[in-house]
Amino acid sequence: MITTDFEYYCAQSITEAVDLFKQLSDSGIRPLFYNGGTEIITLMRINSFYTHVNAVIDIKRIPECSVLEMDEHDYLVIGASVPLAEIEENMAFPLLSKNCSRIADHTSREKITLGGNVCGHIKYKEAILPLLLTNSTLVIADEKGLHEVFIQDIFDKEIILEPGSFIVQFKIEKEFLSMPYINKKMTKIDRIGYPLITVSAIQMKKEIRFAFSGLCETPFYSYEIDDILNNEENSIRKRINAAIKQIPEPILDDIEGSASYRKFVLSNTLEEIMMKLNGGGGNEAIS
Amino acid sequence: MKLELKKVYNYHKKEMIKVLLIQQMGCLNLIGKSIPRREGKNKVTGTAKYTADYSTPGQLYAVLVTSPHAHAKIKSIDITKATKCAGVQAVVTGKDYPVLTGSAVEDRPVLAIEKVRYFGEPVAIVVANSEYEAEKACSYVQVEYELLPVLHSVEESFTGKNALIHESFHLYTKPKKLKPIPERNVANHVTVRKGDFHKGKHISDVLVKTNVSLPQSDHAAMETRSVKAEILPTGEVHIESSSQAPFDIQQMVSKHFNIDTNKVIVHTPFVGGAFGGKAAIQLEFIAYIASKSTGGKPIKLTHSRENDMISSPVHIGMDSDVKLGATNDGKLTMLEMTFKFDSGAYVDESSDITTTAALNCTGPYKVDHVWCDAYCVYTNHPYATSFRGYGHGELAFAIERALDKLAEKLQMDPMELRIKNAIKPGDTTPSQAKLTKGNIGNTKACLERIKKLIDWDEGDVVPVSNNVIRAKGISGLWKTSMSPTDASSGAIITLNKDGSMNLNVGVVEIGQGTKTTLIQILATSMQVDESKIHMKMDVNTESSPEHWKTVASTAVYMAGNAVVEAAEDVKRQLKNNASYKLRCKPEDLEVGESRVYLKSDPQKHVNVQSVVRGYKYNNGNTAGNMVIGRGGFVMNQLTNMDLKTGKAFPGPAWTVGAQAVEVEFNTRTFFYTITKAVSVLDAGVIFNPKGARGQVTGAMSMGLSWASREGFYFNQNGNIINNQFRTYKTLRFDEQPEYIVDFVNTEQLDGPYGARGVGEHGIIGMPAALANSLSKAANTSLNHLPLIPEFIWSKKKEETP
C-alpha cells in the first residue's frame, strides 16, 4: 500500500505537461513525470524509492507520446508512452521487439513504456541497448519547446535530462531496422527475471556492435569493446577475453549471480553471438 | 461394461464388507469417478470468498511494525508519535501482552519482547481506521535497538560460541517432550538407535559419505495470510482466519488468553493454498490483542506478500551428513546420519519435523543398523513450520543422494540398488515400527513401474545434440503422518425433507479437494448420486465437528472414516424409521438409491424422504425419530517415542512411491530444461483419479520449483533480501515439464474403502530426483539446493582448477 500522499495530474499536451511541471516546482512541490507507472507504484509501495515525490504528471495521454510509425524522413518514430508489449508485437524494429519481449512479464509489459524503461531507476534499462547501438535520436520537450539530440550525446550511465524536460519520442534511422541482429538475455534460471546479462548486438556493414545490460551497475555501449571484439586478427576466444578486461565498471555481484559467474556467462554469450552473426545467422535471433 | 470386484476390509467397523466397484455404471458408485470439484465453479468465476474478502461495518485495520534486524536487543519503543497519527486507534507492543506461545516450546512472544530474533519479526502493531493510516503510522513507531551477534547458520549456532538466541530456554514451558541442548542453541535432539551400529559397520564392504543441505524457503501460497478478530460485549471472541487449523486456534487462544474454549469461535472460509504454512498460529494471537486493545472492535490484518514471506513462518532449512554402508552385492547394511534442521528463531513445528525426519531417515529401504542424530537448531532466520512433506522431502534428498553415490561406488544400476533394498511388509522402520500388509504399500512395484515410464533402459545419460545431453534421475519416497496419538475427526450428517443430505466436517478446503472426495465417500456409502449431498465448505468451530488440523495428508483417512461411520449411523436410523412402515425388523432392511428396502424383496421399500423425520402413519401418528448421523474417528495404535532409541509407532501407515526426473542439460553453459517428471505412488483405492492426479502433479511442480530455484538469500546482517516474487523465483507455467502420474493400488486396510492420502507425496522425491539427474548430467555431485546453473558451474569450476 502506498502511504505517501501525492497529487496526480494528467497532461493532455506537451505544453500542458511542461507548464504543470514548472508551476508545481515553483510552488515547492516535487513533481515527477509519470508514464506507465509500474516502477513508481511498486517502489513507492515498499517505501524503497520515490518516497519524496509529492506529485506526478502523467504524460500517457499526450498524442505525440503514443505514435509508432515511419515518418517522412525514413525514421521509425516511437512515442515514449508506447508500451513494451506493443513494440514486442509491432516488429518495425525487430531487435527492439526482441529485446522488449524479454523485459519483465507480459502483464507488466502491457504497462511498462519505452520511455519509462530507459529513464527509470531500474539498473537494467534493457530497452536502451538497441537505442544505443543505433545512436537513435531523442525528441525532448522542455520549456523552450521540442529539440532533438542523439542518445549517445546525453547518455552517461543514464540519460541526463534537465529538470522539467521529458522524452517525447525516439527516432531510429531506417537503415538500422533491417540489419542482422541478436538479442540475448541470460537470467539466473528462468525466462522471466532480472538479467545476469543482456546483450544486444547488431551487424553493421563492417562490424558488429554490442551493448550490455546487467553486467554493471548501468547499461553501457563501449567503442573500445566493439573494437576489441571486431579485431579479426585475434581468435574469438582471445577477443572475448580481452573485451572482458575492458569492461568499464565493476561487474555486478548480487543474488542474480556472482561477478565471476557473470563473466563466464558473458563469455559464452558473446561467443554464441559472434559465431552466429559471423556465420550469417543474424535475424533468427536466439532468445 | 467393466465390472471389478474388490474386497475391502473396513477394519474401523471391525467387520468385513464387500464393495462392488462398478465403474462407468453411473451414479451409485463413486469410487474411481473423477467428479469435478464441488466448489470449482465458484472458484474459477471468482465468486468463492476468502478471509480477506469479508469486511464488517466499523472494521479497523491492523498493520505490523517489524524488526529491521536479525538479532538485537530492544532498548526502547516509543509509540507516542504513532498514537497521534491520523486515524490511529491503538498501538500495541509485546510488553502489553507478555504471553509466550508455541506448540512444542513456548518460546515465542506474540510481539517481540526485550529482543528480536529474526529480520521481519513483529515488534508492534498499529490499529487504525484504514489500512493506509495504520501503515503510515507504523513508520512513526520508534524502536531503539542494540545489535547482537547474528547466528547465520545451524553450524554457527551449534558451536554455541557467539551467542545464545534464547538465554532463558530453561524457563520456558514445554508442552512436548524434548531433549534440548540449550548451550548449543538446540531445542531438540532426536536419537534413533536401531540394530547394532558396530555390527553394521563390520559387515559393510563399502561406505559412502555425503553432505547435503537446503536453505529455508517460502510456502508461496497464492493467498497471503489474513485474519480478523472481534470481541463481543458478552466476551465471545470471534476469529476468522486463513488457516489449516481452526480448532487449534480455538484451543490456543483459549489457553494463552485464559478464555473459556466455548467462548472462542473460529471461522475459516476457503483458503487459497497453505502447504503447511497456515497450520501455525501467529497472526491470530496478534489480531486478538489488536482487537482487545480497541475494546473488542472488529479488526482485520492481512499480510502483504513481503511480510507473508518473512514475518510469518517459513519452510525449514536443513544440513545433513550421511554415511551409508552396503555389501558388495548392494545390500544396505548400515546408516549413520546427522540432521541439523534450521528452525530459525523459534521452534513451532521444527522439533516435530526433526523427529519425523529421524524416525524415517532411511526412506523406503530396509536397513538393519541405523544410527541417527537429528538436531532442531535455533538460528537468527525466520522461524520454520510445517511444509508439504513434513521432513520427508528433506530426508529423501539426503538419503537418495547417498544412494546414487553408493550405486556409483558399487558400479551398480541405481534403480537396481533401490529395488533390491525396497522395504516391505515384515521389515521394520528406523523407529522399529513393524510394517504389515495393512500399513505399507508396495515400494518395489512403484520402482518397477517408474523404470518403464521413464524408459530407464534407454540409459540415464544420452546425448541429444552438440553440448546437450539428456539425463535421468530417480528417487524413492515414503511418508507417514506423525500426528498426536489421539488426533481426532468427526462428521455430522443432517437430512433435508426431500431426503438429500448435508455433510459437515471440520476439514478446511485449502485447494486440495478433500471435500469432494468426502462427498464421494458418503455417496458411495449411502448409494446415492453425489448431487444429493450438500457439503458445508467453510469450517466453523461452533458448528463443525473437530478435525485435528487439515495437515499431513490425513483428511481423507481421518474424516473419511468418520463420514463412513456417520453414514452407517444414518442408515441405522433410517432403517429403524422404515421398519414401522415395512413392518419388519430394522436389520432386515438395506438403504440405497434413496430408498429403504427389504433385503429379501427389494421391491418392498419406502423412499428415504418419507422416513427422515420418523415415519408418519396415515392417521398422522408419527413413530421413530428425526435422523441425524454422527461419526467419529481417533487415531489408534500410535505410540509416543522412546527418547533414547527413537522407538515409536509414529503414524498410522506409510505411503510409498517412486519418482523420476528427466532433464536436458547443456554441458557448455550448465543451463538445463526439465523435460519430464514422473511419479508412481501407491495411493491405495483412488476415489477421484483426476483429483488425485491434480494433487500429485501440483506437488511435483512445487517440488521442482523448490529444488531448482527457491530459497531465501540473506545479507551479511541476516536480512532476507528476496522477499518478493521479483527476486524469489518459482516455476512458471511455461517451464512445466511433461508430467506423468501413475498409481499402484495397495489398499490401506483401515482407510475408508482402502483409500490413502496423496496430498503431499508428489513433492517428496522431486529434489532428490532432480539432483540425481543433474549430477549425472554434469558428472559432479550436486548436493545443495537450489540447483541453479551457477551452482553447477561453481561445482565444475572447483573440480577443474
Question: Given CB atoms, is B735 within the 8 Å cutoff of chain A?
Answer: yes
DSSP letter string, B33-91: --PPPTTHHHHHTT-S-BGGG---TT-EEEEEEE-SSSSEEEEEEE-HHHHHSTTEEEE
**Residue-wise pLDDT tens digits, B217-230:** 999 999 999 999 99
Nearest to A270 by CA among A198, A191, A188: A198
Question: Given CB atoms, is B727 within the 8 Å cutoff of chain A?
Answer: yes
Grid cell digits, residue B284: 491470530
State the DSSP H helix or E strand holding residue A245, giving kind and residue range, or none if neither.
Answer: helix A236-245
Q: Which tops the pLDDT comparison, B552 or A93?
A: A93
Residues of A in contact with B729 (CB under 8 A): 188-190, 193
Residue B704: strand, helix, or coil: helix
Q: Which residues does residue A172 pair with via DSSP β-bridges, in sequence order?
A: A76
Residue A175: strand, helix, or coil: helix
Contact B79, B120 (CB under 8 A): no
Nearest to B141 by CA among B120, B122, B125: B125
Alpha helices in B184-229 (DSSP H): 197-203
Residue A102: strand, helix, or coil: coil
Q: Chains A and B: how many Cβ contacts under 8 Å?
A: 49
- Please report, rounded to a whole number, the percentage of residues in chain B having pLDDT higher than 90: 92
A183: phi > 0 → left, psi -120 to 50 → alpha, else beta; which?
A: beta
Measured between CA atoms, how close is A110 to chain B, in angstroms?
17
What would the mean pLDDT of B562-576 be, rounded to a whole number? Answer: 98
Residue B403: strand, helix, or coil: helix
Contact A57, A94 (CB under 8 A): no
Q: Which residues contact B95 (CB under 8 A, 6 or more apart)?
A: B113
B6 pLDDT higher than 50: no
Nearest to B381 by CA among B225, B215, B164: B215
Cα-Cα-Cα-Cα torsion B172, B178, B182, B185, nearest 10 degrees, comes to: -110
The DSSP secondary-structure symbol of B361 reads T
Question: Given CB atoms, is B721 within the 8 Å cutoff of chain A?
Answer: yes
Question: Given CB atoms, is B666 within the 8 Å cutoff of chain A?
Answer: no
**Residue-wise pLDDT tens digits, B713-745:** 999 999 999 999 999 999 999 999 999 999 999
DSSP letter string, B554-620: -HHHHHHHHHHHHHHHHHHHHHHHHHHHHTS-GGGEEEETTEEEESS-TTSEEEGGGSBEEEE-TTS
Average pLDDT, chain A: 95
**Residue-wise pLDDT tens digits, B296-312:** 999 999 999 999 999 99
What is residue B19's predicted lDDT score, i.e. its pLDDT? 37
State the DSSP H helix or E strand holding residue B248, giving kind and residue range, or none if neither.
Answer: helix B246-256
What is residue A285's predicted lDDT score, i.e. its pLDDT? 43
Strands (E), A54-133: 55-58, 68-70, 75-79
Q: Which residues does residue B654 pair with via DSSP β-bridges, in sequence order?
A: B440, B480
Q: Which residue has the cell 537468527?
A: B380
Q: Do B132 and A194 touch (CB under 8 A)?
A: no
Average pLDDT, chain B: 94
Q: What is the dihedral sign for C-alpha B637, B639, B645, B646?
A: positive
Nearest to B340 by CA among B313, B359, B321: B321
Residues of B in contact with A194 (CB under 8 A): 726-727
Q: What confidence tier does B3 reach under pLDDT thresholds 50, 70, 90?
A: very low
- Please report, rounded to a whole number, the percentage of residues in chain A having pLDDT higher than 90: 90
Q: Do A1 and B721 touch (CB under 8 A)?
A: no
Q: Which residue has the cell 517412486?
A: B658
B207 pLDDT higher than 70: yes
Strands (E), B641-686: 654-666, 672-682
Q: Do B789 and A194 touch (CB under 8 A)?
A: no
Residue B696: strand, helix, or coil: helix
Q: Do A3 and B135 touch (CB under 8 A)?
A: yes
CA distance B387 to B397: 15
| Predicted complex ipTM exceeds 0.85 | yes
What would the mean pLDDT of B450-470 be, rounded to a whole number? Answer: 96
**Residue-wise pLDDT tens digits, B382-422:** 999 999 999 999 999 999 999 999 999 999 999 999 999 99
CA distance B39 to B507: 14
Grid cell digits, residue B591: 438403504
Contact B365, B422 (CB under 8 A): yes
Nearest to A185 by CA among A123, A245, A265, A110: A265
**Residue-wise pLDDT tens digits, A53-76:** 999 999 999 999 999 999 999 999
Contact B136, B209 (CB under 8 A): no
Grid cell digits, residue A239: 577477443
**Residue-wise pLDDT tens digits, B328-373:** 999 999 999 999 999 999 999 999 999 999 999 999 999 999 999 9
Describe the crossing of helices A236-245 and A259-278 by its angle, rounded to 10 degrees. Answer: 140
What is residue B4's predicted lDDT score, i.e. its pLDDT? 38
Nearest to B631 by CA among B507, B489, B515, B491: B491
Grid cell digits, residue A185: 538475455
Residue A184: strand, helix, or coil: strand
Q: What confidence tier does A236 reach under pLDDT thresholds 50, 70, 90?
A: very high
**Residue-wise pLDDT tens digits, B587-633:** 999 999 999 999 999 999 999 999 999 999 999 999 999 999 999 99
Q: Which pTM was predicted?
A: 0.95
What would the mean pLDDT of B553-559 be, rounded to a whole number? Answer: 93
What is residue B14's predicted lDDT score, i.e. its pLDDT? 32
Measured between CA atoms, how close is A219 to chain B, in angstroms?
20
CA distance B50 to B274: 13
CA distance B289 to B282: 12
CA distance B598 to B582: 8
Q: What confidence tier does B38 reach under pLDDT thresholds 50, 70, 90?
A: very high
Taking the mean position of all CA atoms in its chain, how far away is CA A81?
Answer: 13
Closest by Cβ to A258, choosing from B669, B709, B790: B790
- Please report, rounded to a whole number, the percentage of residues in chain B having pLDDT higher than 70: 96
Question: Given CB atoms, is B164 within the 8 Å cutoff of chain A?
Answer: no
CA distance B178 to B186: 10
Taking the mean position of all CA atoms in its chain, how far away is CA B701?
Answer: 16
What is residue B28's predicted lDDT score, i.e. its pLDDT? 58
